[in-house]
């Protein structure tokens, strides 16, 4: 049975971590200008072979009351759409 929308975490283990990191980084670069327009920014900290992506929200995003929503509904959603192996995005 296939997943219809990618809303459940991928159970696939990442085999090529550098390829995974590169694809995640490319999507973050596409997201970055939108955050920068509001005075914030995002930095990719790390990825792991279970699909977790660690990011740091800086600038206005670091103190924004909507940062968690931006992280989950914006950043995580966009990453999962383009890189299906992403299981979660975590702010550190």
Using one digit for the tens of pLDDT, what is the confidence trace for 20-68?
999 999 999 999 999 999 999 999 999 999 999 999 999 999 888 999 9
Nearest to 28 by CA among 4, 58, 8: 58
pLDDT confidence of 77, banded at 50, 70, 90?
very high
pLDDT score for 60: 93
* List of domains in the chain: 17-91 (3.30.300.130)
pLDDT confidence of 10, banded at 50, 70, 90?
very low
Exposure string for 45-81, b = 16+ CB within 10 A, e = fewer? eebeeebebebebeeebeebeebeebbeeebbebbbe
């Amino acid at each position: 049975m296939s997943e219809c929308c990618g809303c459940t975490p991928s159970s696939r283990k990442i085999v090529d971590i550098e390829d995974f990191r590169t694809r995640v980084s490319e999507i973050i670069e596409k997201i970055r200008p939108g955050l920068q327009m509001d005075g914030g920014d995002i930095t990719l900290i790390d990825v792991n072979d279970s699909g977790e992506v660690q990011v740091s929200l800086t600038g206005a995003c670091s103190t924004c009351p909507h940062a968690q929503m931006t992280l989950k509904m914006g950043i995580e959603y966009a990453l999962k759409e383009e890189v299906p192996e992403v299981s979660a995005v975590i702010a550190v």
